[in-house]
A and B are shown apart, each in its own frame.
Chain A
């Protein structure tokens, strides 16, 4: 597996900090996902090996935690919070705007591979609803105008992703 040197360094620093190696499983999933974009079978085996675990021990967490992915997302991952406070502020309309703009239903990737559109649950910023994450950057107050602006920036690839 081709991991960046910085990723390897982070992993080597992190694992010994835990009293029990297995605790590093989730952090390693994060680090490898951040490096490669998703968690392939090869990555899962690599993590298991690094922590002296069985691949199933890693698979079972990869399939449990919503933020961990086994497939590469589109160029931009757009995550619309749909939980109650955001919904009361119009999140479902925001999501529809994204769906129409990129010709993709929530839960899928646009045909051009530009956007993976997903619903997520409360992001703990309900006072600034609706909340949308693009990559690792959070956008707040995403009502109609703001959404339009975000869509334009995604289309011309100038959007900030954290």
Chain B
């Protein structure tokens, strides 16, 4: 039987009759938390966010309260808030749901956050391909403005704040916060080096800036509603609140499903929530947190110790869906994009597909990334095209090892982790492919067809 979702962020989104216009939002209690926030002191809201323990939903899982605390409030420069709605990590499609179905929740969350950090101008950086989402947000912002929730002297207070929706134009690296900031400044999205360019100190226009993901900013609204302590009771200590898991790939019912952190296991997500695999198929592998996260093999045993010292011994289906458990098994919950692969999947092709993505998206600033990632793509594409060699396997890992940790931004890791994990966990398949193809080549039966990367 399907396990019932426990929705917080998407509570109303798919309810029949719920629309994305402001009347509907207000009917369901919308903008009440903004009024509540205005009765609080900004520093008290920050305190609630710290107490809530909420961790960023954009990928890195950094505690939002702590990030806000790092904000340089003494510089005398304006402070900016940026909502990261670039949603471009392959496998992730949760921010789209919020933007399309409940844009006012995001706007209310952003205004609460902007008030708390003292920002008078906020941006929503939305990926360029979200044509419809952009229109929905523009309309929602005008609605909010006409009702006095946004703009000058909000709700009769002394506080003014505007939101600008800014469209990207198809580059994944704009999701990386400093790349995003460069892009927002009207330049190429070349990430900046940290330190010194931590956005909380030197962000947009060299001013203190907070960048948070869409889902994180929606959480802020709920933290104000229920209080940080109550929010921290959802999920487990260190893994608080709900998460929207985006499931794609080989399951019967792909889609987005919201649960408190650690409320379900990966097995429950696949079999009870998503209806399991297609008839006659077996689970082969799972990428649990967007394509950058390290792949998990279906027949692996995961043993070790959690942060709190308790030891675990899990099969893939036993892994609780939360930040720390997925980190403990050597991967990450990342952006919540869970990609399921069954036994029909050719792992070399799957990696070649991923490598194609990263080679296309490198911004080109750092030599290891600019040269190494396309090189890895070239190798895996050739391996899908009849040219696999046994030495490719070691070469791939060598290249990946020389990228990770040697670049300006975490894209270097994002592009290396898939290679390192696929090659180490499915080495047998890479070797088999190389052997098979070298035999074919010896016989002169080289296939020269255009490779399909699945």
Interface residues of A (CB under 8 A from B): 17-20, 22-27, 29-30, 51, 53, 57, 60-61, 64-68, 82-85, 87-89, 92, 120-129, 133, 136-138, 162
Residue pair B129, A123 in contact (C-beta under 8 Å) = yes
Contact among A20, A60, A82 for B453, CB-based, below 8 A: A82
**Can you name 15 A-B residue pairings with CB atoms under 8 Å?**
A19-B78, A26-B166, A26-B186, A30-B167, A57-B186, A61-B187, A64-B188, A82-B353, A84-B249, A85-B249, A88-B250, A122-B89, A124-B129, A127-B256, A129-B248
State whether the Cβ of B237 lies closer than 8 Å to any Cβ in chain A.
no
Residue pair B254, A126 in contact (C-beta under 8 Å) = yes
Q: Which residues of A contact B184 (CB under 8 A)?
A: 23
Residue pair A61, B188 in contact (C-beta under 8 Å) = yes
The 8 closest A-B pairs by CB, nearest first: A65-B169, A25-B186, A22-B186, A67-B170, A126-B248, A66-B170, A85-B248, A67-B169
Residue pair A122, B183 in contact (C-beta under 8 Å) = no
Most buried by B among A29, A66, A136, A138: A66
Q: Which residues of A contact B88 (CB under 8 A)?
A: 121-122, 124
Residue pair A30, B169 in contact (C-beta under 8 Å) = yes
Most buried by A among B246, B248, B249, B250: B248
A83 to B: closest C-beta gap in Å: 5
A82 to B: closest C-beta gap in Å: 7
Residue pair B93, A124 in contact (C-beta under 8 Å) = yes
The CA-CA distance from A87 to B250 in the complex, in Å, is 11
The CA-CA distance from A90 to B78 in the complex, in Å, is 49
The CA-CA distance from A87 to B353 in the complex, in Å, is 8
Are A129 and B254 also in contact (CB < 8 A) when A65-B171, A67-B170, A121-B360 are? yes
The CA-CA distance from A17 to B249 in the complex, in Å, is 42
Residue pair A125, B93 in contact (C-beta under 8 Å) = yes
Residue pair A126, B90 in contact (C-beta under 8 Å) = yes
State whether the Cβ of B70 lies closer than 8 Å to any Cβ in chain A.
no
Q: Give B62-95 as 1s and 0s: 1 = Cβ < 8 Å from A's Cβ atoms.
A: 0000000000000000100000000111111101
Contact among B92, B121, B164, B356 for A124, CB-based, below 8 A: B92
Q: Which residues of A contact B317 (CB under 8 A)?
A: none
B228 to A: closest C-beta gap in Å: 30
Residue pair B254, A26 in contact (C-beta under 8 Å) = no
Contact among B164, B287, B337 for A17, CB-based, below 8 A: B164
Residue pair A127, B345 in contact (C-beta under 8 Å) = no
The CA-CA distance from A137 to B354 in the complex, in Å, is 25
B141 to A: closest C-beta gap in Å: 12
The CA-CA distance from A88 to B185 in the complex, in Å, is 37
State whether the Cβ of B168 lies closer than 8 Å to any Cβ in chain A.
yes
Residue pair B169, A125 in contact (C-beta under 8 Å) = no
Residue pair A85, B90 in contact (C-beta under 8 Å) = yes
State whether the Cβ of B222 lies closer than 8 Å to any Cβ in chain A.
no
Residue pair A68, B247 in contact (C-beta under 8 Å) = no
State whether the Cβ of B18 lies closer than 8 Å to any Cβ in chain A.
no
Residue pair B339, A84 in contact (C-beta under 8 Å) = yes
Q: A22-B187, A83-B90 are in contact. List 20 more A-B contacts (CB 8 A).
A: A22-B186, A24-B186, A25-B187, A30-B167, A60-B188, A61-B186, A65-B171, A66-B171, A68-B169, A82-B353, A85-B248, A87-B353, A92-B453, A121-B360, A122-B92, A122-B357, A125-B93, A126-B337, A127-B256, A129-B254
A88 to B: closest C-beta gap in Å: 5
User: Quick one: closest B residue to A66, CB to CB?
Assistant: B170
Q: Which residues of B contact A51 (CB under 8 A)?
A: 186
Q: Which residues of B contact A124 (CB under 8 A)?
A: 87-88, 92-93, 95-96, 127, 129-130
The CA-CA distance from A73 to B287 in the complex, in Å, is 36
State whether the Cβ of B37 lies closer than 8 Å to any Cβ in chain A.
no
The CA-CA distance from A137 to B130 in the complex, in Å, is 10
Q: Which residues of A contact B131 (CB under 8 A)?
A: 136-138, 162
Are A27 and B167 also in contact (CB < 8 A) when A83-B90, A125-B93, A126-B91 are? yes
Residue pair B91, A125 in contact (C-beta under 8 Å) = no
Most buried by A among B95, B129, B184: B129
Q: Which residues of B contact A17 (CB under 8 A)?
A: 162, 164
Residue pair B357, A19 in contact (C-beta under 8 Å) = no
Residue pair A121, B353 in contact (C-beta under 8 Å) = no
The CA-CA distance from A30 to B248 in the complex, in Å, is 31
Q: Which residues of B contact A162 (CB under 8 A)?
A: 131-132
Q: Which residues of B contact A136 (CB under 8 A)?
A: 131-132
Interface members, chain B 417-454 (any A CB < 8 Å): 452-454
B258 to A: closest C-beta gap in Å: 13
The CA-CA distance from A25 to B183 in the complex, in Å, is 9
Contact among B183, B189, B341 for A88, CB-based, below 8 A: B341
The CA-CA distance from A84 to B337 in the complex, in Å, is 12
Are A87 and B170 also in contact (CB < 8 A) when A65-B128, A120-B129, A127-B255 are? no
State whether the Cβ of B350 lies closer than 8 Å to any Cβ in chain A.
yes
The CA-CA distance from A125 to B88 in the complex, in Å, is 10
The CA-CA distance from A127 to B128 in the complex, in Å, is 19
User: Quick one: closest B residue to A162, CB to CB?
Assistant: B131
State whether the Cβ of B205 lies closer than 8 Å to any Cβ in chain A.
yes
The CA-CA distance from A31 to B337 in the complex, in Å, is 32
Residue pair A85, B78 in contact (C-beta under 8 Å) = no
The CA-CA distance from A92 to B170 in the complex, in Å, is 20
Contact among A22, A24, A27, A121 for B90, CB-based, below 8 A: A121
Residue pair B454, A67 in contact (C-beta under 8 Å) = no
State whether the Cβ of B291 lies closer than 8 Å to any Cβ in chain A.
yes
State whether the Cβ of B323 lies closer than 8 Å to any Cβ in chain A.
no
Are A65 and B170 also in contact (CB < 8 A) when A82-B453, A124-B127 are? yes
